[in-house]
Chains A and B, each alone.
Chain A
């Protein structure tokens, strides 16, 4: 590959997970990087520009790999990038193989596989300082000689070796062919794994010649830490403590920015109302778009915090320990140990939980985890539970001292977990049937988190969520708004009223919606109100009337919207919160046409059960669509969760009636 100086190089970064690839990528590209997915799959594609001795080169960060055998999706993608078969990616001129000096033999395995592709390779040796702290020695020149490949010792944090790396890469790009040994012709007739053995015996020789190990190695620090963190008893205790800290942060610290965001969106919405001429467009912007998107963005502090903790736990190496501790329990359900933390995260919000399942290599395992994650009672369900408990179970006790509220809360969380376990069990035996995948998982050495990597990771994920889910959330927000906004009974011009909402009629504008009664009347006569009437026969066996039906439809935007919709429909005004006494008494006083009360404690309980199990969250569906890369899975999720929720609510209500309640 004789290149002219003007030719822009493409360089790929390959190597084992935890070898320091991300840190090096960040150091080489600075802030100039792009994160997207490879087309058609959910493997992250990270690219950036590297100033290579004056000329900018394209740098591709390949997924972390132990092998290039193409058994996992990550490996397939990496392989096709290296061979130049990946669409939209130029075949790299040089591969920089990131190799962890403290774990030389296994790290070099994938390097010997790279040799087979006859692509110029430059080895970037990381963690030398750690290696030398253990009183081991390494001769870099000797290693390069043995591998017949340039080797550069680097430290991405101090900048050591970065210049030399650039020089070697440039030199390698000008070579006509690589001198590195090729194992393509290893004799596989002597056994199916002869090639693996040949690679490792080559590696063993190279390592033996170039390193000197201290004969009495100090006990690795990670082993000392693990004596506590993966201890049979204390390990579990600490895991619980870690989770408590995470939840404390999410449920108390996040409330400050969440309140600010809520006020901010409220203010913005009011500002639009004040400064734009009254009309459909104004209402669309302020009540549809700003309120709808705001309802989702309000959860962003929680989502960001959760991403922060997940990134932190991944970067320190604790994530693998959590999977190690919990694998036995998770495998009983047919899930991988790595599913534990994503599922626990889903108690705060299913979105980060679902996005965190990417660490699960096996597709079926990962999908099964995604499918059950929304059963974990997330924070958006809390206002619903709180309202129902405040209205019908407040101050009651069982046996004189246990509060009914606490028992109900616990029951709701437990119900979600139990159903998730059952569904995972069934899915793994039917739709997602597969032999148990290998657990084989490296327990990487603990290390201090790299603040930059952690923050970048958090922001990237949050941005991906907003960008990809944003359009779906926006579309559904507008749709739901239109359902509740049209037809305008106050301006009953047929033409404007029956259109789907595209027409912006400048005439016949309604009075400002400050009037609470008018707002309520409007909702009752809207398409959503009619839809509520339409589904009434279906939800009647659950004890729900059409007004609750309207609230169910509206809460698809986000579960907590149920509270504000009920407030509007019961003439309390949409700003009432879950503990509002006026809303609580309005719910208690609501009557059916025949004079019976709409709500009984049994109805409230039924509604809570329904909310534990129903897929009432457009953001989650949007994220599932993104993470599974098909509409099939989110639709399946919506379908089966609704069926389960309906069945459970039906059993609760009808069972309760048979027992004489309600």
Chain B
């Protein structure tokens, strides 16, 4: 990720490199999955870190609010993050 620009970089949780962290800006969608993601504490403003991905690169482990949450990359793609 380029850091030479002043503006904060917008990306999705899915696209974060391993070990990188960011602040959630939005969770897209309005399905049951969206709701469950929010209820697990991933809401705008919260700090998330991508810890690792599983052997076949999916799912991923995300650290949020001091605990670890595993999710599929397809689910993480709906979570927008600012670096």
A residues apposed to B, CB below 8 Å: 66-67, 69, 71, 102-106, 109, 192-193, 196-197, 200, 222-223, 226, 230, 232-233, 235-236, 320, 323-325, 327-329, 331, 337, 436, 438-445
* Chain A residues whose CB sits within 8 angstroms of the CB of B32 once the complex forms: 71, 438
A445 partner residues in chain B, CB cutoff 8 A: 67
A103 proximity list for chain B (CB < 8 A): 65-67
Query: Could you tell me which B residues sit within 8 Å of A by CB distance?
Result: 30, 32-41, 43-44, 51-52, 54-59, 61, 65-72, 74-75
Contacts A105-B41, A105-B66, A442-B68 given; indicate if A327 touches B54 (C-beta within 8 A). Answer: yes
Q: Tell me what chain A mostly uses at the interface: helix, strand, loop, or mixed.
A: helix
13 A-B pairs, CB-CB below 8 angstroms? Answer: A67-B36, A193-B38, A196-B35, A196-B39, A226-B68, A324-B61, A328-B56, A337-B59, A436-B74, A438-B37, A438-B75, A440-B37, A445-B67
* Bound complex: CA A554 to CA B40 (Å): 52
> Which of A71, A106, A197, A439 makes the CB contact (< 8 A) with B70?
A439
Closest CB pairs A-B (n = 7):
A328-B56, A443-B68, A438-B33, A439-B72, A232-B55, A105-B65, A106-B41
Question: Is there contact, CB below 8 Å, between A66 and B58?
Answer: no
Interface of B is mostly: mixed
Q: How distant is the Cα of A588 from the Cα of B35 in the complex, in angstroms?
A: 65
**Which residues of the other chain, A, contact B30 by a CB distance below 8 angstroms?**
192
Q: Which of A200, A327, A440 contacts B69 (CB 8 A)?
A: A440
List 10 extra interface pairs beyond A103-B65, A226-B61, CB under 8 A.
Answer: A103-B67, A106-B41, A196-B39, A197-B43, A222-B68, A230-B61, A327-B70, A438-B71, A439-B71, A443-B61
Complex: how many Å from CA A222 to CA B35?
27
- Taking a contact as CB atoms under 8 Å apart, the answer to whether A328 and B41 are in contact is no
B75 to chain A, nearest CB (A): 6
Min CB distance B31 to A, Å, is 9
Taking CB atoms, residues of chain B closer than 8 Å to A71 are 32, 35-36
Q: Are A324 and B70 in contact (CB under 8 A)?
A: yes
Q: A327-B72, A438-B33 are in contact. Are A109 and B39 (CB under 8 A)?
A: yes
B67 / chain A contacts, CB cutoff of 8 Å: 102-103, 106, 442-445
Contact A328 B55 (CB under 8 A): yes
* Distance A232 CA – B36 CA, assembled complex (angstroms): 27
> Which residues from chain A contact B74 at a C-beta distance below 8 Å?
436
A284 shortest CB reach to chain B, Å? 54
Q: A105-B65, A438-B75 are in contact. Are A328 and B57 (CB under 8 A)?
A: yes
- Most chain B CB within 10 A, of A223, A320, A440, A442, is at A440
| Nearest opposing residue in chain B for A104, CB measure | B66
- Docked Cα-Cα span, A445 to B35, in Å, equals 24
Let me know if B56 and A440 touch, CB within 8 A. no
A-chain residues with CB within 8 Å of residue B54 when the two chains form the complex: 230, 232, 324-325, 327-328
What is the chain B residue whose CB lies nearest that of A71?
Answer: B32
Assembly CA distance A147 to B62 (angstroms): 28
